[in-house]
A and B are shown apart, each in its own frame.
Chain A
Amino acid sequence: MTEPVLRLEALQKSFGALTVTNNVTLEVAAGELHAVIGPNGAGKTTLINQISGLLAPDSGRIVFADQDVTALSAPKRAALGLARSFQITSVLPGFSVLENVALAVQARMGSSFRFFGRASAEEALNTPAMAALGEVGLAARADMLAGYLSHGEKRALELAIALAMEPKLLLLDEPMAGVGREESKRLITMLSRLKGRFPILLVEHDMTAVFALADRISVLIYGQILTSGIPDAVRVDPQVIAAYLGEELE
């Protein structure tokens, strides 16, 4: 097996007396969709924030694309090819849908200290952006202000933004959060298409989605990895059932 895209080594993070990430070691292999599940307050978002660089871990190492990125800032990690979505929708509400995605393309092309020329008329930015919008089914909304999209559409826009970065790893923080049954089905189809194209670390609450998509599942409880394995193994793991899943999987 080749070197994993992302490796967390003994990651540790506390807020005061509360340990939110406790000795987490985890790998995402190339082409794999690795899901992290856990009850509310298990430290899933904190974990994602540490990987994307918004929070610094107290100790431990984060290795991404064969490079120790533990000390790198969030923009530097993004420039290396780490894209993420947010649990609480995080788009630019005053920008058009197309501009939201074109900005991601612009970030990837790495030349934003240009002071002249209308950015919104640049085909080099708009064409890849439109392609990403097409993939998530938002092409028809391109000219709308992102703030006016429905919640489900905003979730899709988050995905398009992440896609447009052409990432080496996609971190998805609860992409189904707050989405209705129909929309969540659509998002699952969308994610299953992305699977294999990018390695994905998926943090999710929605069990249907996780068991439909994941190649590997890690269960996070009180900041600690309880167990890690293929979905079928996790499903029947008595520890997991006792600690978290309960009757949900009956």
Chain B
Amino acid sequence: MPLPTSIARREWLPVTLFIAFALLPVAAAFDAETYLLGLFMRVMIFAIAALGLDLLVGYGALVSFGHAAFIGIGAYAVAILASHGVTEAAISLPFALAAATAFAWLTGLVCLRTRGVYFIMITLAFGQMAYFFAGSLAPYGGDDGLTIHTRNTLFGLAAFKHERLFYYIVLGCLIGCYVLCRALVASRFGRVFRGARENPTRMVTLGFEIHHYQLMAYMMSGAFGGFAGFLLANASDFVSPAYMSWQRSGELIIMIIFGGIGTLHGAILGTLAFLLLGEWLSGLTEHWKMIFGPLLVLVVLLARGGLIGLASQLATWWRREHIHSPSGFAYALLRLVRSLRVWLDAKIIGLAGPFRSRSRD
């Protein structure tokens, strides 16, 4: 049972995030509106896929390295239907979800026979298969991708055409997905799924066929990816095999690690931080990944639980130091820097352990 304070802290963050998303169009009205709207829409769409991935990785310890495939499948479902003149979301959305779920079911049957590194490799393999399959779809653009000329309509209404309305629809979808994931994790089903991560042997001897639960979770996770793909296709009016590349799958994993796995809102925060940082750093230099890489290493090294973990460590520090005045804050900060240096020294010496005695001689 979590303590009431930790509940308060848990609810505080997602609510703030959603409010920030909701207020963005208002703030963005003053300058390059479409650019910011587009960027944040991408953030929210990828956050939906990241939520689905966090279900698997954070709660089931199933590290899927082929998750971009589900996004791609959802996106291609929209594009292929659109190329045949079907542009109604009430048809293309169920189609996208069904396609992603079916792919998850088929591949999950095989993937879930393996564990650990093998699971990572086999999901990667299936992801690559989807990638090359999309590239070979000559009637649908092959490697060049496929432009969607008409955006989906929602029950006949051109709701997705109106950028701002579409933005709020995506936000609504993100909130819905988040609430759904929270419910799933806390449900009877979620409890069994989490238990299978903690101690599979125990779960089996309790009478749970854990593979059934893991397959179901894998399919749900795939459906979230397909849903994100559906939105992405409509937001960018274009699909290409690049949506399914393994780099994209890796980015999804980085997003959830960056934010903090196994918290759900960490996935949203991580996606936000990853895409915004990428956008900002790539504006500074072409080689932005050389900055981003070490940054990721730092976050993982300094805070086990990603940004969420970092935030809660800071909160604990704040409470422990009883900070009431600016001068108290300054002293606390000094102490923190000092202990951080001691800690880092220890870490570096620890890393250099094998060489240390030799260098001292």
- Closest-by-CB residue of A relative to B204 is A74
Nearest CB in chain B: distance from A148 CB, A: 13
Report yes or no: B205 in contact with A92, Cβ–Cβ below 8 A.
Answer: no
**Residues of chain A within 8 A of B210, CB atoms compared:** 75
User: Whole-angstrom distance between the alpha carbons of A112 and B192 in the complex?
Assistant: 7
**Interface extent on B, as a size class?**
20 to 34
- Closest-by-CB residue of A relative to B187 is A115
Please tell me the number of chain A residues within 8 Å of chain B, measured between CB atoms: 41
User: Whole-angstrom distance between the alpha carbons of A91 and B190 in the complex?
Assistant: 17
User: Whole-angstrom distance between the alpha carbons of A99 and B206 in the complex?
Assistant: 13
Give the contacts of B143-193 with A (CB-CB under 8 A): 183-184, 186-192
Report yes or no: B207 in contact with A165, Cβ–Cβ below 8 A.
Answer: yes
Of the listed stretches A12-20, A37-45, A102-110, A231-239, name the one at the interface; the rest are far from the partner chain: A102-110
Report yes or no: B186 in contact with A103, Cβ–Cβ below 8 A.
Answer: no
- Indicate whether A96 reaches chain B with its CB closer than 8 angstroms: yes
- Indicate whether A29 reaches chain B with its CB closer than 8 angstroms: no
- Indicate whether A93 reaches chain B with its CB closer than 8 angstroms: yes
Contact of B207 among A91, A93, A108, A119 (CB under 8 A): A108
**Residues of chain A within 8 A of B189, CB atoms compared:** 112-115
Give the contacts of A61-97 with B (CB-CB under 8 A): 73-76, 78-79, 83-84, 86, 90-96
- Indicate whether A50 reaches chain B with its CB closer than 8 angstroms: no
User: Whole-angstrom distance between the alpha carbons of A118 and B216 in the complex?
Assistant: 19
Give the contacts of B172-228 with A (CB-CB under 8 A): 183-184, 186-192, 194-195, 198-199, 201-210, 213, 216
Contact of A116 among B187, B195, B203, B208 (CB under 8 A): B187
**Residues of chain A within 8 A of B351, CB atoms compared:** none
Nearest CB in chain B: distance from A131 CB, A: 17
Q: Assess A120 versus B1: contact at CB under 8 Å? Given A92-B195, A92-B198, A92-B199.
A: yes
- Indicate whether A52 reaches chain B with its CB closer than 8 angstroms: yes
Report yes or no: B209 in contact with A75, Cβ–Cβ below 8 A.
Answer: yes
- Indicate whether A58 reaches chain B with its CB closer than 8 angstroms: no
- Closest-by-CB residue of B relative to A90 is B202
User: Whole-angstrom distance between the alpha carbons of A210 and B205 in the complex?
Assistant: 24
Report yes or no: B191 in contact with A119, Cβ–Cβ below 8 A.
Answer: yes
Q: Is the interface of B mostly helix, strand, loop or mixed?
A: helix
The interface centre, meaning the residue of B186, B190, B205 with most chain A CB atoms within 10 A of its CB, is: B205
Nearest CB in chain B: distance from A121 CB, A: 9
User: Whole-angstrom distance between the alpha carbons of A92 and B206 in the complex?
Assistant: 12
**Residues of chain A within 8 A of B191, CB atoms compared:** 99, 103, 106, 112, 119-120
User: Whole-angstrom distance between the alpha carbons of A74 and B210 in the complex?
Assistant: 11
- Indicate whether A161 reaches chain B with its CB closer than 8 angstroms: yes
User: Whole-angstrom distance between the alpha carbons of A53 and B208 in the complex?
Assistant: 13
Nearest CB in chain B: distance from A126 CB, A: 11
Contact of B188 among A78, A106, A108, A143 (CB under 8 A): A106
Nearest CB in chain B: distance from A154 CB, A: 12
Nearest CB in chain B: distance from A116 CB, A: 5
**Residues of chain A within 8 A of B203, CB atoms compared:** 103
**Residues of chain A within 8 A of B198, CB atoms compared:** 92-95
User: Whole-angstrom distance between the alpha carbons of A157 and B227 in the complex?
Assistant: 42
- Closest-by-CB residue of B relative to A161 is B206
- Indicate whether A180 reaches chain B with its CB closer than 8 angstroms: no
- Indicate whether A54 reaches chain B with its CB closer than 8 angstroms: yes
User: Whole-angstrom distance between the alpha carbons of A86 and B20 in the complex?
Assistant: 50
Q: Assess A75 versus B202: contact at CB under 8 Å? Given A106-B188, A119-B187.
A: no
Nearest CB in chain B: distance from A22 CB, A: 25
- Indicate whether A117 reaches chain B with its CB closer than 8 angstroms: yes
Chain B contacts to A: CB under 8 angstroms: 1, 183-184, 186-192, 194-195, 198-199, 201-210, 213, 216
27 A-B residue pairings within 8 Å (CB atoms): A54-B201, A54-B204, A74-B204, A75-B210, A86-B201, A90-B202, A91-B202, A92-B199, A93-B199, A94-B194, A95-B194, A95-B198, A103-B192, A104-B206, A106-B191, A106-B192, A110-B207, A112-B191, A112-B208, A113-B188, A114-B188, A114-B189, A115-B183, A116-B187, A117-B187, A117-B188, A119-B188
Chain A contacts to B: CB under 8 angstroms: 52-54, 73-76, 78-79, 83-84, 86, 90-96, 98-99, 103-104, 106-108, 110-120, 122, 143, 161, 165
- Starting from the known contacts A54-B201, A90-B199, 16 additional A-B residue pairs (CB-CB under 8 Å) come to A75-B210, A76-B207, A78-B204, A78-B205, A83-B205, A91-B202, A92-B195, A93-B199, A103-B191, A107-B206, A112-B191, A112-B213, A115-B189, A119-B186, A120-B1, A120-B191
The 3 closest A-B pairs by CB, nearest first: A78-B207, A92-B198, A107-B207
